[in-house]
Amino acid sequence: MTDFFKDIPTIRHEGPESDNDFAFRHYDPDELVMGRRMEDHLRFAVAWWHSFAWPGNDPFGGQTFARPWFGETMDHARMKADAAFEMFGILGVPFFCFHDADIRPEGGSFAESLRNLEEIVDYIAWKMETQPTRLLWGTANLFSHRRFMAGAATNPDPDVFAWSAATVKACMDATHRLGGQNYVLWGGREGYETLLNTDLGRERRQAGRFLQMVVDYKHRIGFPGTILIEPKPQEPSKHQYDYDVATVYGFLKDFGLEHEVKVNIEQGHAILAGHSFEHEIALAASLGIFGSIDMNRNDYQSGWDTDQFPDSAPEMARAYYEILRAGGLATGGTNFDAKIRRQSLEPADLILAHVGAMDVCARALKAAAALLQDGALERARAERYAGWETPAAKAMLDTGTLEAISARVLSQGIDPQPRSGRQERLENLWNRFA
């Protein structure tokens, strides 16, 4: 045990009228929403990197946090794990997520880093024996160290490719050992800055072969979880190969992996790609590759990924509406890939950031579920496309030819007139619930 979170009580649900900062007003794990426990819908996870490894720096300033576990020894790593599980208990979250570099110190060689990882994984496994918090997913940090400045799988140096493959193997082994339900790949440096020194075709083939190796290894070790790719545009590389859901799907199709790999969608990344969070979720669901979400928000006045905790239930309700329409999160979850602000120095700030975010998501989920159960929005959607349910329309789409369709238009005097999309009416309907 540590005393980092001393005097902070276990957070419990007290209802919307509570004035207790250290209480949930809307998140009640056992509340039934559409016949399912709220905890099982939302599947909250804490991100080890932002909550315990991030020092409080930004592109314009250095460390602001002083944590007793900051350091490069195994004792520091174990103290970090102790603090993490204390916070998991305070919040009652069912899951956590990590990169290898978050939980173990960097060694002087790959072998030493691997020994450190295996040792801390054993320690975390021991911690998990006494607490209910499970591993949602693990991943490898293939972007922070200078060796990855030109990418990992897409690097022009085959030794970096090899190092990256060995690192992913180690992280998949760790995830499997801890019972993780997914494994995530985020290509933070898988992109390019200038075409003057880049062979796009070669780098793309390298990335595809790398992912095929990951899928093959998953099956060889009997890992039952889902392999996920997390799309992100522009930052840090100018042109990212995993720009958005549509780009990732095209990549998966090209390498025969569309039935093996799904996507982990982050709100902030969707915004940087010029989309909305709900768009990316809905598109992934329609393509059959929706897996999980990283929950956060961006500062809309900033041009970079600020990873703030969500604070708008109406905005998040649109995301959860699409998740519910898609059938829920399955092996995925709501991972708070979010960090407190650099000026938020107190341990309580870290707890309260998660409390508020969990309440926002709970309110959003309930609003989305109420609208979906009401059915008015889905009825309006069905009415808009009702013409496609007629025998003639189905035949046109299934077996029609341009010649036959043209003949029908002429013989029947078809003269379509525009019909209203009724957007404002549907926005008003949405706002009655959200």
Q: Which residues pair with 137 in a beta bridge?
A: 97, 182
Nearest residue to 26 (alpha-carbon basis) of 414, 357, 415, 411? 357
Residue from 102, 244, 307, 359 carrying the catalytic annotation: 102
Residue from 99, 176, 275, 279 carrying the catalytic annotation: 99
| Structure confidence at residue 303 (pLDDT) | 73
Q: Do the Cβ atoms of 360 and 319 come closer than 8 Å?
A: no
| Structure confidence at residue 118 (pLDDT) | 98
Q: Find the distance separating the first CA and the last CA of the chain, reported in whole Å.
A: 41
Between β-strands 23-24 and 12-13, what pairing exists: parallel, antiparallel or unpaired?
parallel
Q: Is 372 helix (H, G, I), strand (E, B) or coil?
A: helix
Q: Which residues pair with 192 in a beta bridge?
A: 239
In order, the DSSP letters of 115-172 are HHHHHHHHHHHHHHTSS--EEEEEE---SSSGGGTT-STT-SSHHHHHHHHHHHHHHH
What is the pTM for the complete model shown? 0.96
Residuewise pLDDT in 10s, the chain (434 residues) = 789 999 999 999 999 999 999 999 999 999 999 999 999 999 999 999 999 999 999 888 999 999 999 999 999 999 999 999 999 999 999 999 999 999 999 999 999 999 999 999 999 999 999 999 999 999 999 999 999 999 999 999 999 999 999 999 999 999 999 999 999 999 889 999 999 999 999 999 999 999 999 999 999 999 999 999 999 998 788 899 999 999 999 999 999 999 999 999 999 999 999 999 999 999 999 999 999 999 999 888 877 789 999 999 999 999 999 999 999 999 999 999 999 999 999 999 999 999 999 999 999 999 999 999 999 999 999 999 999 999 999 999 999 999 999 999 999 999 999 999 999 999 999 999 99
CA atoms of 141 and 101, how far apart (whole Å): 6
Q: Put residue 57 in one of left, alpha, beta given phi > 0 → left and psi -120 to 50 → alpha.
A: beta
Q: Is 102 a catalytic residue?
A: yes
